[in-house]
Structure 1
Amino acid sequence: MIGLVVILLISWGLLYLFEKKNLNAIGLIPNGKRLQQFAIGLVLIVAICLMLIGIETSLKSIEWQFLGFEIGTIADAFIYHLRSALTEDLVFRGALLFILNQRLGAKWGIMISAICFGVYHVFSYGILTERLMVIGYVIVVTGFTGYVWAWAFHKTRSIYLGLGLHVGYNMIMACFYESQPYGELLFTELSSVDLVDPMASYYSIFRGLFPALMTLISLKFLLRSRMIGSAEIVEQS
């Protein structure tokens, strides 16, 4: 919690120093439109990830065991992932991205944010000693995800849509797969069939890029249909 307060203070200082704006420049103050964007992002990414899990279940003939539903553990996991995602989003899709977009243009701002997000995960995953192919894969996959979430920030001028996507992704994956400190919240894998190359390599690429690609396509459709308010609409409301 202290870390979040420090990041918020630094964010406010940067926004005031460079743009003479407050934290509402990154859409931090909640309102009905922004909370709706958070909910849309959460529901959208859960649906996309469930689709991916269904594909993986079919390809690998996975047998899942339901572990039961513990509301306390689920709530604790949600709060943990909300704090974690908010921290990362404030760093990579907050004040710095807003300033970069203002000074360099959205194209460069989003790209720089995405690259930094990808490189960050090399350190957070602790894979500095892995093969270059593995490191490159992580940078590309997480960088592309960061690109989509940064694009969502640019289009809505609010962190809430990307935050919903971020929290939803982490939560649904934690419901099925091992993760620390919360993992296999609802299901555990009893058995599966391992894929062999080249199918294993093809599927690894597909698995890494599918959620972000489907998210980008879905968001473009939702923005065109005005189901998600664009930056212009948010500013007018």
Structure 2
Amino acid sequence: MIGLFVIIIISWVLLRFIEKKNIEVLGIIPYPKRILQFFIGLVFMLLLNLVLIYFESLILNVEWQEQNSINCNLIFNSFVYHFKSALTEDLVFRGALLYILISTIGSKKAILISAVFFGIYHVFSYGITGDRIIPILYVTLITGFTGYVWAYTFYKTKSIMLALGFHLGYNFLMTLFYESNPYGQLIFMELNKESLMDWNWLFYSLIKGLLPSILTLIFVKNIVKSNSTIFKNE
């Protein structure tokens, strides 16, 4: 929590002295419109990944086992933990620095730079710096493209809220099904599934990694084009 507070203060200082702007330009103040954007992003990502997990279960014949006892406190703690984590990352990669970059070098270059650093960051956060080059490139590509979509979302909505909902929705849902630290397999446990080999594994992994972000990008482009005042630029 202290780290998050420090990031907010640094963001305020950067915007105040470099751009002569208030931190509100990040769309971080929880006005009703912003809160609605957040929940739209959250629900969209939860539903999208539930559908994708369902199809993965069909394709790979995944066998799931429901946990004998579901700990609601752990689920709530996981939600809070990932909210703080997602907000911290979004303020770093899609906050003041991205806003300043967009203002100085343009949106296309700024969004690309944000995406590249987001991908590189995950190589370190996943602890795979000593792995082979293929896993490193895969993580950089998948998380980098995700970062690109979320940075694009920030640029188009002029707020971190929608992308924050996407971010939290994805991270939180994964803890309900898959192993993760500090929370994981909170409701279901994967017992076994069919294995894919060689090129089949590569193609499937790329589709699995990129498809959520591709569909999210399509969603964002369409809602921005809509006449809804919820997503109009301010």
Please say if residues 156 and 229 of structure 1, whose CA atoms lie closer than 8 Å, have aligned partners that are also in contact.
Answer: no
- Per-residue deviation, residues 40-84 of structure 1 (Å, max 9, x unmatched): 100111111112111210111011111143221111000000000
Matched-pair contact (CA < 8 Å) for 1:114–1:146: yes
Give, as a single letter, the amino acid of the residue that structure 2 aligns with 1:120: Y
Contact 2:176 2:188 in 1 (8 A): yes
* Map 1:65-104 → 2, pairs under 5 A: 65-67=65-67, 68-104=69-105
Cα RMSD over matched residues? 1.2
Q: SS in structure 1 opposite 2:191?
A: strand
**Aligned-pair CA distance for 1:228:** 6.8
Structure-2 change in CA distance of 1:35 and 1:161 (3 Å)? same
SS at match of 2:43: helix
Q: 1:129 to 1:161 in 2, by over 3 A?
A: same
Amino acid across the alignment from 1:183? G
In 2, the alpha carbon distance for the partners of 1:107 and 1:53 equals: 32
Alignment pair present for 1:62 and 2:62: yes
Distance 2:223 2:158 in 1: 16
TM-score after normalising by structure 2: 0.96
- Please list, as runs of the form range in 1=range in 2, the aligned pairs for 1:7-22 lying within 5 A after superposition: 7-22=7-22
The residue number in structure 2 matching 1:42 is 42
Which secondary structure state, in structure 2, belongs to the residue aligned with residue 190 of structure 1? strand
How far the C-alpha of 1:219 sits from its partner, in A, is 1.4
> Deviating runs (4+, > 3 A) in structure 1?
226-231
1:138 equivalenced with 2:134 (yes/no): no
Query: 1:231: how far off?
Result: 5.0
TM-score by structure 1 length?
0.95
**2:24 partner letter:** N
Q: Which runs of 5+ in 1 are unaligned?
A: none
Following superposition, the deviation at residue 227 of structure 1 comes to: 4.3
> Secondary structure of 1:65's partner?
strand
What letter matches 1:27 in structure 2? G
Quote how far apart the aligned CAs of 1:184 are: 0.5
- Give deviations 1:62-109, integer Å, cap 9, x for gaps: 111111432211110000000000000000000000000111111111
In the alignment, structure 2 segments of 5+ residues that lack a partner are none
Corresponding residue pairs, total: 233
Q: How far, CA to CA, are the matches of 1:231 and 1:135 in structure 2?
A: 37
